[in-house]
Structure 1
Amino acid sequence: MNPHFGTRHECGVVVLTTSPQEEHSFWVDIGTAARSGRYAIGLLFFSQDCFPADAIKNRMAEHAPELTYAACSTAGEIGGPDEEVGQCLAVLFPKDLFLATAVRIDGIRTIGFDRIVAQVKEARQTFANTGDALSGTNEPGDVFAICLIDGMSVVEEMVTAALHWALEDIPLLGGSAGDSMRFKKTSLILDGEIGDNCAIVLFFRSIVPFKIFKTDNFVPTDRKLVVTSSDPERRIIYEFNATEAAAEYARAVGIDPGALSPMSFASHPLVVRVGGEYYCRSVQKVNPDGSLSFFCAIDDGIVLTVAEPTGMTRSTNEAFENVVGEIGDIDFVLGFDCVLRRIDAQNRQATQRIQKIYQKYNVVGFNTYGEQYLSMHLNQTFTGIAFARLPEAAGEAS
């Protein structure tokens, strides 16, 4: 394959990327791979500003009708040759080392916890019955699940909790689809069916050793904001400390309310303490009435703490080094990285350093509106699954 468009990893996974100006070769390469019959499934991450969902659907139907695939729109793509947004990226998993299937859960805003659990349990049982189809992979530790979910659904916490309940011992990670920071409508596709208000759950069984991990880089301060008026269903906070939310947040972080922007929110995240640990509750945007919309669940009475990002380069590098210490050399990483981390890296002129780490460990994935990790929906976090580098013979056999 043309090296500008494609990279083949030792485990047989193929990563293809393209810009709108060079997309013909991209679709031809996907079609060639699909016709070979060697691939179990494809994941596509795309900028819907440059690649509308209808175009993705039509190109896949034209070039690769035989390939099972799941796709979602992003707030940025990770793994392209230039590390710029506005791309389409495909990750193809080979059949001899991976077994995969997918299920789509529609109507997630209204379907309810129990129906999600039932649907995923049924899909899980069906997948478990295929265990003998991939030699040597019948242990729970050989299976993982990925979730792609509408990042404008405002129900990611409920869905993630339901998935965790249904999956039991199967580890989960994933990302919330984005729409290039427009906050209007995201797109998800499963085998040509386009939708929003849905989640796609993918089950994988792997011969390749892997490790699921996460990393963040914020520390809490002593500045507290108590939610005194909110709309939990829409994730909107109207008041902190009985004062207009935007004005009180701006005062707490030392910024003029009129200057609040995504850069402000990335540099001054809010965190909540749960079970002795702090988790981000990141601000999405300022509304005209001075309220704040959030990426994660909020409610009246919650005490939020202003946090300060620190040492993103160091903490990210340490996280990857720890994974190497557990599974050995990394072949590639499928990663879901909060868009606010990208913005914060830009603010602190750390973009190139973070990109070098991602390039060193072959990270591919996308910038999200939220990250899923086991039972949690997170913000301002990188969640990833690292696949170990196989011995040379195994790589050639793939």
Structure 2
Amino acid sequence: MDANAWTQFGCGVVALTARQPDDARFWADLEAAAQSSAYSLGLIFYSQDSFPADLLRSKMAECAVGLPYAACSTADEIGGVDEGAGRCLAILFPKDQFAITPFRIDGIRSIGFDRIVAQVKRERQAFEHDPAPFAGTEDKGDTFALCLIDGLSVVEEMVTAALHWALEDIPLLGGSAGDSMHFSKTSLILNGAAGDDCAIVLLCRSRIPFKIFKTDNFIPTDRKLVVTRSDPARRIIYEFNAAEAASEYALAVGLDPSSLSPLSFASHPLVVRVGGEYYCRSVQKVNPDGSLSFFCAIDDGIVLTVAEPTGMSRSTREAFESVDAEIGGIDFVLGFDCALRRIDAQNRQATQRINAIYDAYNVLGFNTYGEQYLSMHLNHTFTGIAFAKPPAEPETPS
């Protein structure tokens, strides 16, 4: 492999990036990785604008025969050699450190909670009964689960709750697939089979110590909006406080209703209080009738609080520093960062500071339409899994 085209971390994980589909070096590197048979899975995050799903499937079938892979479209990609939007990012997990079993849950809009639980339990039981996941060692590693979910399915809360229930003590995190903020159609691919109304779950064993964590940066204000008319199934709010939703939201945040945009929603998130903690319920878009579509579940009677983001770079840095100290040094982080956090960072001219933090801790991942963390579907949050640096090799006496 060309050393300029890829990054390898201490645990053997490799990151490859391509800016255009005709990047011959990228596909040659993937072909070499597949032929080596050294990797248990490739995890691919891609921009549909530059890498349509059918093209990606075709290129993987041509260049990476024998390499299992899971892929999803994004609102943007994070990390790798070549920075910027509109890329394809491939993360390769070595077999000697990671044992990964992927499966797909189809028809998530209609399948229902119980059927998801039953499928995941079957997969988990088979995964847990593997007597020797790592050849030549009795070490079974520690387990976690990743999920990639159609970010336009409007059922992420139900899917996340079902996964959490079925996985029992296996910690879960993940991200909702995006489509570069077009809000039209996402795509997910598992070993060449593509779809949108689905979720991909990865059951993972890692011989590398890890820590799952999350961070956000919003402070609730005293401004309240009561949902008085909504369509929960479609995540649409028609009225706040018995008035048109868009106008009432604009009044609460001090903006002209005609000026509302993704930047407005990123700068003035709404939060709901659950069990003493606040969780974001971010607005996706304004509809022509003055209603608001949301990224997370809503319902009549919910009281939403206007929040103000504050200190994103500080809170992000503190979260990473804490995890780094806890695990004895971060090798790399697999991360899922809300697209609205990215927009808010741009608005506050904090993008360079955030990117510097992500670069310092080797964050690989994507900007999402929602984040999953244990049993919760979240917005305006970074969720991640940090893997520890390998122990330093003892020095050889001279």
Aligned to 1:207: 207
Residues 83 and 355, structure 1, Cα contact 8 Å, conserved in 2: no
Aligned to 2:371: 371
1:242-279 Cα distance to aligned partner (Å, 9 max, x none): 00000000000000000000000000000000000000
Query: What SS is found at the alignment partner of 1:170?
Result: coil
Alignment of 1:1-398 (within 5 A): 1-20=1-20, 23-134=23-134, 135-138=137-140, 142-393=142-393
**2:260 and 2:223 mapped to 1: Cα distance?**
18
RMSD: 1.2
**1:251 and 1:4 mapped to 2: Cα distance?**
51
Matched letter for residue 243 of structure 2: T
Bigger mean CA deviation after superposition, 3-12 or 316-325: 3-12
Give the number of equivalent residue pairs: 392
Q: How far has the Cα of 1:132 moved from its partner? A: 2.1
1:281-305 Cα distance to aligned partner (Å, 9 max, x none): 0000000000000000000000000
**1:112 and 1:275 mapped to 2: Cα distance?**
26
Residues 140 and 207, structure 2, Cα contact 8 Å, conserved in 1: no
Matched letter for residue 238 of structure 1: Y
Q: How far has the Cα of 1:393 moved from its partner? A: 4.7
**1:53 and 1:393 mapped to 2: Cα distance?**
42
Bigger mean CA deviation after superposition, 82-91 or 200-209: 82-91
Matched letter for residue 39 of structure 1: Y
- Residue identity (%): 73
**C-alpha spacing 1:348/1:123, structure 2 compared with 1 (3 Å):** same
Residues 372 and 378, structure 2, Cα contact 8 Å, conserved in 1: yes
1:142-196 Cα distance to aligned partner (Å, 9 max, x none): 0000000000000000000000000000000000000000001000000000001
Query: What SS is found at the alignment partner of 1:255?
Result: coil
**C-alpha spacing 1:376/1:131, structure 2 compared with 1 (3 Å):** farther
Query: What SS is found at the alignment partner of 2:132?
Result: helix
Q: How far has the Cα of 1:2 moved from its partner? A: 2.5
Matched letter for residue 116 of structure 2: I
Bigger mean CA deviation after superposition, 1-10 or 325-334: 1-10
Query: What SS is found at the alignment partner of 2:252?
Result: helix
Q: How far has the Cα of 1:133 moved from its partner? A: 2.2
Residues 225 and 240, structure 2, Cα contact 8 Å, conserved in 1: yes
Query: What SS is found at the alignment partner of 1:390?
Result: coil
Residues 136 and 207, structure 1, Cα contact 8 Å, conserved in 2: no
**C-alpha spacing 1:95/1:393, structure 2 compared with 1 (3 Å):** farther
Matched letter for residue 279 of structure 1: Y
Q: How far has the Cα of 1:131 moved from its partner? A: 4.5
1:69-113 Cα distance to aligned partner (Å, 9 max, x none): 000000000013343110000000000011001110000000000
**1:95 and 1:138 mapped to 2: Cα distance?**
12
Residues 285 and 293, structure 1, Cα contact 8 Å, conserved in 2: yes
Bigger mean CA deviation after superposition, 19-28 or 233-242: 19-28
Query: What SS is found at the alignment partner of 1:111?
Result: coil
**1:372 and 1:264 mapped to 2: Cα distance?**
23
Residues 15 and 80, structure 2, Cα contact 8 Å, conserved in 1: no
1:124-143 Cα distance to aligned partner (Å, 9 max, x none): 0111111422234446xx00
Residues 151 and 176, structure 1, Cα contact 8 Å, conserved in 2: yes
**1:154 and 1:137 mapped to 2: Cα distance?**
39
Residues 19 and 88, structure 2, Cα contact 8 Å, conserved in 1: yes
Structure 1 segments of 4+ aligned residues over 3 angstroms from their partners: 135-139
Q: How far has the Cα of 1:21 moved from its partner? A: 6.5
Query: What SS is found at the alignment partner of 2:16?
Result: strand
**C-alpha spacing 1:305/1:25, structure 2 compared with 1 (3 Å):** same
**2:74 and 2:4 mapped to 1: Cα distance?**
21
Query: What SS is found at the alignment partner of 1:132?
Result: coil
**1:130 and 1:232 mapped to 2: Cα distance?**
41
Matched letter for residue 204 of structure 2: F
Query: What SS is found at the alignment partner of 1:133?
Result: coil
Matched letter for residue 291 of structure 1: S
**1:227 and 1:4 mapped to 2: Cα distance?**
53
Q: How far has the Cα of 1:22 moved from its partner? A: 5.6
Residues 19 and 82, structure 2, Cα contact 8 Å, conserved in 1: no
Q: How far has the Cα of 1:392 moved from its partner? A: 4.2
**2:5 and 2:240 mapped to 1: Cα distance?**
49
Residues 220 and 307, structure 1, Cα contact 8 Å, conserved in 2: yes
Residues 330 and 389, structure 1, Cα contact 8 Å, conserved in 2: yes
Query: What SS is found at the alignment partner of 1:252?
Result: helix
Matched letter for residue 340 of structure 2: L
Bigger mean CA deviation after superposition, 21-30 or 360-369: 21-30
Residues 131 and 137, structure 1, Cα contact 8 Å, conserved in 2: no
**2:37 and 2:70 mapped to 1: Cα distance?**
17
Query: What SS is found at the alignment partner of 2:23?
Result: helix
